[in-house]
Amino acid sequence: MKIISSLSEFLDWRASIDSSATVGFVPTMGALHDGHLALVKRSLNEAHITVVSIFVNPKQFGENEDFNSYPRTIEEDCDLLKQAGVDVLFVPQYEDIYSDDIKSFTFESLFSYQLEGKSRPDFFPGVINVVSRLFNIVNPSLSFFGKKDAQQLILISKMVDVGSFPVRIVPVETVREPSGLAMSSRNIYLSKTQTLSASKIYKSLLLAKDLLDRGEKEAKKIKNEIKKSLLADSAISIDYVSVVNLDDLKEILGSVNAPALISVAVYVGGVRLIDNLFYE
Ligand code: PAF
């Protein structure tokens, strides 16, 4: 695996590869787990060359968020990517990404400020900024995003359409612990008992799916049942529970008809966790 840590070296390498080769790209912030490796494996299967980037993007963290303490495990990450068979690991510096020479794209929709965007208003503008810059540097044919960060996946897909980026966005299923807990770099902050509490998140989503499958379509009822099941564990507090229409991304006030996205954000201890279920 080639490790490249400067923009000029990356651009030289990118210019040197065969123009008929497809480049699969997995942007990450490191602290890699099986969820990231699922994205990497998809890329290795679907593209000729796989590039992974590790860049903890300060612009997508709010002032009181965990940028400074965000887990940084570069040596372990390198080993995992090497073992997986990744071709290039790009570890840019701040100046490389935010150089005036690199074009960024601004894309905001109302959806940027709902759900995750409501609680974290800097998050999606920061993600769009960095991902558009990374796309302009890496120039990938395919790029892989997890369905766990559903809102990110949806907004990046829209950015690619609106900005006519020549890349296909490939959604990848959420990878879960045997308990159902969605893999996340932030799970390492959880104690054993908090991990147990956190596993109730997915159970509450499955309960919602079961209700829908059995004919209960009232969004308010579904959300109340999710809340009730989450709050049965005193370690959990709720940030939001939402059911949006996948077509227009609007919160559903009446009946839920597929396709819909059910998402939750909770705190377990001080740790904020998200999860979702695509009801299709
Ligand atoms: O999902 C993430 O890890 C980040 O939001 C991303 C897409 C790498 C942009 O910094």
Check pocket membership of 150 for ligand 1, CB cut-off 6 A.
Answer: no
Flag whether pLDDT at 9 surpasses 90. yes
Flag whether pLDDT at 64 surpasses 90. no
Ligand 1 centroid from CA 280, angstroms = 25
Q: What is the pLDDT of residue 65?
A: 87
Check pocket membership of 89 for ligand 1, CB cut-off 6 A.
Answer: no
Q: What is the pLDDT of residue 109?
A: 86
DSSP readout, 191-222?
-HHHHHHHTHHHHHHHHHHHHHHTT--BHHHH
Mean predicted confidence (pLDDT) in 13-28: 98
Span 136-194, pLDDT tens digits: 999 999 999 999 999 999 999 999 999 999 999 999 999 999 999 999 988 999 999 99
Q: What is the pLDDT of residue 88?
A: 99
Q: What is the pLDDT of residue 127?
A: 97
Mean predicted confidence (pLDDT) in 23-37: 97
Q: What is the pLDDT of residue 107?
A: 87
How do strand 260-268 and strand 236-245 relate by DSSP bridges?
antiparallel
Is this structure's pTM higher than 0.85?
yes
Q: What is the pLDDT of residue 200?
A: 98
Flag whether pLDDT at 111 surpasses 90. no
- Going by alpha carbons, the residue nearest to atom 8 of ligand 1 is 28
Dihedral, CA of residue 157, residue 78, residue 179 and residue 277, to nearest 10: 0
Q: What is the mean pLDDT of the chain?
A: 96
Which of 9, 148, 188 lies closest to 89, judged by CA? 9
Tokens of 158: 């829209």
pLDDT over 90, % of the chain:
91
Flag whether pLDDT at 13 surpasses 90. yes
Which range is least confidently modeled, 50-54, 55-59, 257-261?
A: 257-261
Q: What is the pLDDT of residue 259?
A: 95
Span 79-109, pLDDT tens digits: 999 999 999 999 999 999 999 999 999 988 8
Q: What is the pLDDT of residue 92?
A: 98
Mean predicted confidence (pLDDT) in 18-40: 97
Ligand 1 centroid from CA 153, angstroms = 10
Span 65-84, pLDDT tens digits: 889 999 999 999 999 999 99
Catalytic residue from among 24, 29, 30, 36: 36
100-114 burial code (b ≥16 CB/10 A, e <16): eebeebebeeebbbb
> Which atom of ligand 1 lies nearest, measured to the CA of 27?
8
For residue 36, indicate whether it is catalytic. Answer: yes
Check pocket membership of 28 for ligand 1, CB cut-off 6 A.
Answer: yes
- Going by alpha carbons, the residue nearest to atom 5 of ligand 1 is 127
